[in-house]
Amino acid sequence: MQKGSLLIKGGMVVDPASNVFEQADVLVRNNKVVSITKHAALEASRTIDATGCYVFPGIIDFHAHLFHSGTEIGVFPDAAFLPQGVTTAVDQGSAGIANYESFHDGVITHSQVRIFAYLNVAPVGLCTLPRVLENVDPNLFDLDKARLLLTKYEKELLGLKLRTSQDIVGDFGFAPLEKMVAMAAQLGCPVVVHTTNPPGSAGQIAGYLRPGDVYTHMYQDKGHCLVDETGEIDQAVRKAREDGVVFDTADGRAHYSFAAIRRAMAAGFKPDVISTDLTGGNVYDKAVFGMPLIMTKYLNLGMTLPEVVAACTAAPAKVLGQEGRLGTLAPGAYADIALFRIKEMPLQLQDFKGEVLDCRQVFIPQLTVLNGKVVYASLESQL
């Protein structure tokens, strides 16, 4: 008889990291997974009936903006993520060297959600008002202060981030990206590059990136795109993926089009990571809403259920350096668990170009477990 503090019983367990896709019971003791078991005698102080539900590792949203007290677009992490099955979130460059301490003290330390972050190379971090965008003059980048922060917050700070849109970089072109990658090489850390409406081709951007670096907004459809109108993908982009560069969706409101997604998928270029680019302006809004809606989008665009789940659990966990601890239900992993139903219901999604996607299967969150404790439950779930 195995005993634990929480038993999730009778659900369809989908854990791509462990190659599990079957009906089974998940046993938790304290804050760790004990086992995924079939037909065994299990006992726990609390049992949740997951019949009719899918049981996933806690969802990881790899691209969001969480600095609610320091930027105009930040979300409140616990309110934005826990009801959506998300137990880990990554802030993508909301803060720079001038204000990262404030972000850490004011947001990260007060959140239940596990938070990781990338440091914006622009000293003041992210600015999103059209009349006030961040200054990405490479002469302002500060290697020494970045090193101090990456060392002090090594358990949460992962690397460097830059937005390389034409309206931000202006006449600097690719000079900020080149400088950021050179800094990262000295710091021994990865980078994430925002690619919407870039100053050059996708292949040029990919050429700067190294294994473990992240090309985000991969399906953006403004200016130079990952895939052209004929469906061809630049060979430099393909080589970057082969070499270990990670491709992330970070859809947001306007960082994708259905046409670009379909062209890329037809060319065999599915995402490594699925994420939201969640902000205060799109959370719980139909344009983005959160991870359940983004997962719904890709399921209805033709990705399989294990592919979708892997792209928001095992794959981002690997990027975070958290394999075996997050993004999996393997024994010994943190007991972060998300229960979903996949409901047959009509839902229409519209991209920024006006194209509509008719969805039929929709992810509906039921229950979220973080560190072995239930932190959200829908009244639809079996409490």
What is the pLDDT at residue 128?
Answer: 73
Q: Is residue 325 part of a domain?
A: no
- Pairing label, strands 86-92, 114-120: parallel
pLDDT at 312: 98
pLDDT score at 4:
74
Domains contained in the chain, number: 1
For residue 157, the model assigns a pLDDT of 98
Does a structural domain hold residue 291? Answer: yes
Give the pLDDT score at 131: 67
In a domain, 200, yes or no: yes
Q: Which two tokens stand for residue 168?
A: 């931000």
Q: Is 73 helix (H, G, I), strand (E, B) or coil?
A: coil
Domain assignment present for 28: no
Domain annotation covers residue 158: yes
Q: Which letter does DSSP use for residue 140 in this model?
A: G
383 residues of the chain, pLDDT tens digit each: 577 799 999 999 999 999 999 999 999 999 999 999 987 778 899 999 999 999 999 999 999 999 999 998 999 999 999 999 999 999 999 999 999 999 999 999 999 999 999 999 999 999 876 667 899 999 999 999 999 999 999 999 999 999 999 999 999 999 999 999 999 999 999 999 999 999 999 999 999 999 999 999 999 999 999 987 778 899 999 999 999 999 999 999 999 999 999 999 999 999 999 999 999 999 999 889 999 999 999 999 999 999 999 999 999 999 999 999 999 999 999 999 999 999 999 999 999 999 999 999 999 999 999 999 999 999 877 65
Structure tokens that stand for 86 in this block: 């998300």
Domain enclosing residue 233, as ranges: 59-319
Q: Tell me how long the chain is.
A: 383
Q: Can you give the CATH number for the domain in which 237 is found?
A: 3.20.20.140
Residue 383 has a pLDDT of 56
Q: Are 336 and 371 in contact (CB under 8 A)?
A: yes
Residues whose CB is less than 8 angstroms from the CB of residue 285 and which lie 6 or more positions away in sequence, other chains included: none
Strands 246-248 vs 214-216: parallel, antiparallel or unpaired: parallel
pLDDT the model gives residue 195: 97
> Which of 249, 252, 250, 255 has its CA nearest to residue 285?
252
Asked, for residue 375, whether it belongs to a domain, the answer is no
Let me know the angle formed at the C-alpha of 132 by 129 and 136, rounded to the nearest 5 degrees: 115
Q: Does a structural domain hold residue 1?
A: no
In the prediction, which pLDDT does 297 show?
98
C-alpha pair distances (Å), 135 with each of 101, 122, 142, 163, 169: 20, 6, 13, 10, 8
Residue 256 inside a domain? The answer is yes
